[in-house]
Amino acid sequence: MKKVKIAQYSLTCCEGCTVTLLNVLASNPTVFNRIEIVSSRILGYPEPVEADMAFIDGSVITNHDLELLKTIREKTKVIVALGSCACFGGINALREVMKFNEAIKIVYGYSPNVPHMEDVEPISSIIKVDYYLPGCPPPRSELEQFITCLLLGKIYRLPERPVCFECRAQGIPCLLDEGIPCLGPITRGGCEAACPRINMPCWGCRGPIDELRPDVYLEAVKDHKLNLVEVFNKVKIFMYKTKARTILGELK
Partner 1 sequence: MKKVIEIPVLARVEGHGSLLVEVNVKDKQVNRVEFRINEGARMFEAMLIGRKAEEVPMIASRICGICGPVHAICAARSLEEAMGVKVPDNINTVREIIAELNVVESHLLHVLVLSLPDFLGYNSILELPSDLKSKVFEALRTRELIGKCLDLLCGERVHPKNIIPGGFSKLPTKSDLMNLTSKLEKEAKKIRELIELIGDKMIIEFNRSSHYVALHDGKSYPITYGDLMLDSLLQIPHYAFKKYFSEIVVPYSTSKKSLIYGMESYMVGALARVNTNLKFLDPEAKELIEKLGVKTPTTNPYLIPLAQLIESLHLIKNITRLVDEARLTPHRIQYKPRHGMGSYIVEAPRGILYHHYVVDSEGKVLYADIITPTAQNMADVEDSIKTIIFHEIQREKNMDRLKRLCENIVRCYDPCISCSVHLIIT
Residues that bind partner 1 (CB under 8 A): 10-20, 22-23, 26-27, 37, 41-46, 61-62, 64-65, 91-92, 94-95, 97-98, 103-104, 106-110, 112-114, 116, 136-137, 194-195, 198-200, 203, 230, 233-234, 237
* Distance in Å, CB of 211 to partner 1, minimum: 26
> Phi, psi at residue 9, to the nearest 5°?
-125, 145
Q: Nearer Cβ to partner 1, position 131 or 238?
A: 238
CB closer to partner 1 out of 104 and 213: 104
Min CB(153)–partner 1 separation in Å = 25
- Cβ nearer to partner 1, comparing 23 with 216: 23
Smallest distance from the beta carbon of 166 to partner 1, in angstroms? 15
User: Within 13 Å, how many C-alpha atoms sit on residue 70's CB side?
Assistant: 4
Task: Calculate helix-pair angle for 228-239, 214-223, nearest 10 degrees.
Answer: 140
Q: Residue 18 Cβ, how far from partner 1 at the closest point, in Å?
A: 7
Q: Which of 80, 5, 3, 7 is nearest to 48 (CA)?
A: 7
In sequence order, what are the residues at sequence separation of 6 or more whose Cβ sits closer than 8 angstroms to the Cβ of residue 40? 7, 8, 9, 18
Q: Which is nearer to partner 1, 101 or 216 (CB)?
A: 101
CB of 169 to partner 1, least distance (A): 19
Compare residues 107 and 155 and give the one whose CB is closer to partner 1. 107
**37 in helix, strand or coil?**
strand
Residue 90 in contact with residue 237, Cβ under 8 Å? no
Q: Which helix (H) or strand (E) holds 213?
A: none
Shortest distance, position 234 Cβ to partner 1, whole Å: 8
Helix runs in the chain, H state only: 16-26, 29-32, 63-75, 84-88, 100-108, 140-152, 163-170, 194-197, 214-223, 228-239, 243-251
Select 102 or 211, whichever has its Cβ closest to partner 1: 102
